[in-house]
A and B are shown apart, each in its own frame.
Chain A
């Protein structure tokens, strides 16, 4: 009984799927992914139409088809400029930011083995914000000539390293200590960011403040390349390593037992997550709770296997923030509200619900 006969094909197959306690199996996952893609496409078209200048859906589709794929003919130049130069980049940026924050949240939650983690709870985004604001307020020259994105990455990485250094104990990293260190450092970074705002030029302050509340307004095509590439590349890398992420989610000892070089893998994860958070925060500012809610929703749907959770988080995150961005422009039109207000309004109650639920599990588990 203790040796599997490799020629014996009479054994039934027991996969993760055949009998699954999760809401959706393989086919459910595929259908959901297809549905989310449709939602994302719809949010692009609707998102481009929404705003101060009302543009009919048919014009939007005509311009998109012509500029992106060369299908059809050129529409009127004003509509083309509004649609293609002003609105398309920002709509795509909202998708990239939502996807990036969600995937980063996924990686962080596995890394610290705690479903309460996200780039903001862990202080990673606050570190990135501090880096970015420092460059905006003090000028690139004060920080050795690095740009906003690079400064955001450096801030994110510095924050991540400090959180892990603070939470380290003889018996490894306790998930609770990691979260607490992250929260504490997040406040510290926010305080320093506050000081920088206080000393900054009033002309810069307005920009900093709007950016701090989170927005993708004013996105140019040039801004889109880096974050979009980083989001796609890091998600692909994480999906390839999702077996290791699964093992790490069970704890350091389990991961070692399953053949994961934990120290090396953790450093790789820190770098990738920092790049991801840095790239996204540098272009969008503070948009909290997306990285917390989306991975959690994904796990409730398909279970915790990262081979499904990561792609689903990418799609869910994009669909969610794409929709929020539309809402932010429609609710108080013609003026625009920061995205962070909406994600916080949805996210804070969600966080409290999650906290109470995990407490109950501890008490009665």
Chain B
């Protein structure tokens, strides 16, 4: 991937769909080389904010910067040269092989008349090695397990040789091992990364900092342990939480419980 020294910055991002505000002025920044976790309850706007990064949704107002460039002043192709996306597990009826899937990552660098070059095929080999999927290269993508598919999509993102990596809930539908495995891989890449995550413990373990969204607003951006206090967990997620340190690994984990005072009428948010 090009210079890993380029950061990402969102400025006062507003998104309204059919006059309903989904995002109400979100500002955040990702330091070069940092993994930023995007967390928040369902409907808080995580996916929408990510989609404004990779041009799937145009913000009503606000700007998204990659380094010095405004994402929304680029063409779709220029944007894809700078930002690679791992979407929620892609399913397809079309029987693309793993190698073909990863080769598609070269697409944003190709003109209409360009053929695949030896260089492209070497980048594919490198990307497959980076995610440890070399031996899967001749398999049909659709037949892989969820975790294997996600690794291939990360390889495709690497083959794009972009500066920013975006992942939208990449651990959905993965078993416990595959979840840890994938985030370990993402963290080890050392790229400027934004990842939306549901699981607070995964976010706490693998993100340098987390950005907490609630009803379309940024509640705060800080290291997980600093941001996810008892009060924040109760206000935003409506759970009681407590940080525990593992006696074996020394790592911090969040233990979550449903508040005793919670009644069924509380489950509807105002």
Residues of A at under 8 Å CB distance from B?
1-4, 6, 8-9, 11-16, 18-22, 110, 113-115, 170, 240-241, 243-244, 246-247, 249-251, 253-254, 256-261, 299, 303-305, 358, 361, 365
Which B residues form the contact surface with A (CB < 8 A)? 1-2, 4, 17, 54-56, 75-81, 84-85, 87-88, 90, 92-97, 99-100, 102-105, 107-108, 110, 112-113, 116, 118-128, 130, 134, 137-140, 142-143, 158, 160-161, 188-191
20 contacts between A and B (CB under 8 A): A3-B1, A3-B4, A4-B161, A12-B122, A14-B102, A14-B124, A15-B99, A18-B99, A21-B139, A113-B92, A113-B93, A170-B17, A243-B110, A246-B107, A249-B92, A258-B80, A258-B160, A259-B79, A299-B94, A305-B96
The contact of A20 among B92, B97, B105, B125, by CB within 8 Å, is B97
Question: With the chains together, A13 CA to B103 CA distance in Å?
Answer: 11
Which chain A residues border B100 with CB–CB below 8 Å? 16, 246, 303-305
Nearest residue (CB) in A for B124 is A14
Using A15-B99, A251-B90 as known contacts, list a sample of 18 further A-B pairs with CB atoms less than 8 Å apart, ordered by residue number in A. Answer: A2-B130, A2-B158, A2-B190, A4-B126, A4-B158, A12-B122, A14-B134, A15-B124, A244-B107, A246-B100, A250-B94, A251-B87, A254-B90, A256-B76, A257-B87, A259-B76, A259-B108, A261-B75
- A93–B185 Cα distance when bound, in Å, is 56
- Which residue of B81, B107, B130, B160 contacts A1 across the interface (Cβ within 8 Å)? B130
Measured between alpha carbons, how far is A19 from B108 in the docked complex, in Å? 24
Q: Please measure, in the bound complex, the distance between the C-alpha atom of A13 and the C-alpha atom of B118, giving whole angstroms.
A: 6
From B77, B88, B92, B123, give the contact of A4 (CB < 8 A): B123
In the complex formed, the residue of B with least CB distance to A116 is B93
User: Which residues of B are found within 8 Å of A299, using beta-carbon distances?
Assistant: 94-95
Residues in B neighbouring A3, C-beta threshold 8 A: 1-2, 4
Nearest opposing residue in chain B for A11, CB measure:
B122
A249 to B100, CA, bound (A): 13
A259 and B118 CA atoms in complex are apart in Å by: 22
Of B125, B158, B190, most A-chain CB atoms within 10 Å: B125
B116 — which chain A residues lie within 8 A by C-beta? 15-16
A246–B102 Cα gap in the complex (Å)? Answer: 12
Query: Which residue from B85, B121, B143, B189 sits with its C-beta under 8 Å from A18?
Result: B121
Q: Is the CB of A115 within 8 A of B93?
A: yes
Question: Which residues of A lie under 8 Å from residue B190 when comparing CB positions?
Answer: 2
Closest chain A residue to B18, Cβ basis? A170
Task: Please determine whether A256 and B112 come into contact, CB atoms closer than 8 angstroms.
Answer: no
Measured in the bound complex, the distance between the Cα atoms of B126 and A3 in whole Å is 9
Contacts A249-B92, A261-B75 hold; do A14 and B121 have CB atoms under 8 A apart? yes
- CB B87 to nearest CB in A, in angstroms, measures 5
Task: List 5 tightest A-B contacts by C-beta distance, closest first.
Answer: A259-B80, A13-B121, A257-B85, A19-B138, A259-B108
In whole angstroms, what is the CA distance A253 to B80 when docked?
A: 12
**A18 CA to B75 CA, complexed, in Å:** 33
In the complex, the chain B residue whose C-beta lies closest to that of A252 is B56
Q: Taking each of A21, A22, A260, which has the highest tally of chain B beta carbons within 10 Å of its own beta carbon?
A: A21
A30 to B104, CA, bound (A): 22
CB distance from A358 to the nearest CB of B (A): 7
Complex alpha-carbon distance, A240 and B84, angstroms: 23
Q: Which of B103, B105, B113 contacts A16 (CB 8 A)?
A: B103
A residues near B189, Cβ cutoff 8 Å: 1-2
Chain A residues with CB below 8 A from B81, complex form: 259
When distances are taken between beta carbons in the complex, the residues of chain B under 8 Å from A249 are 92, 94
With a CB–CB cut-off of 8 A, which chain A residues contact B138?
A: 19-21
Per the bound structure, the CA–CA distance linking A304 and B126 in Å amounts to 24
- Contact A16/B77 with A2-B130, A257-B85, A259-B107 known, Cβ cut-off 8 Å: no
Q: Which residues of B contact A253 (CB under 8 A)?
A: 56, 85, 87-88, 90
A177 to B123, CA, bound (A): 38
> Which residues of chain A have C-beta atoms less than 8 A from B119's C-beta?
6
CB-defined contacts of A256 to chain B, threshold 8 Å: 54-56, 76, 85
Alpha-carbon separation in the docked complex, A355 to B125 (Å): 36
> Residue B99 contacts which of A16, A240, A259 (CB distance < 8 angstroms)?
A16
* Cross-chain contact of B125 among A12, A303, A358 (Cβ < 8 A): A12
Choose one: B4, B94, B125, B140; the contact of A14 (CB below 8 Å). B125
Closest to B135 in A: A19
With A2-B1, A4-B161 known as contacts, the answer to whether A14 contacts B107 (CB < 8 A) is no
Chain A residues within an 8 Å CB radius of B108: 258-259
How distant is A3 from chain B, measured CB to nearest CB, in Å? Answer: 6
Closest residue to B84 on the A side, CB-wise?
A: A257
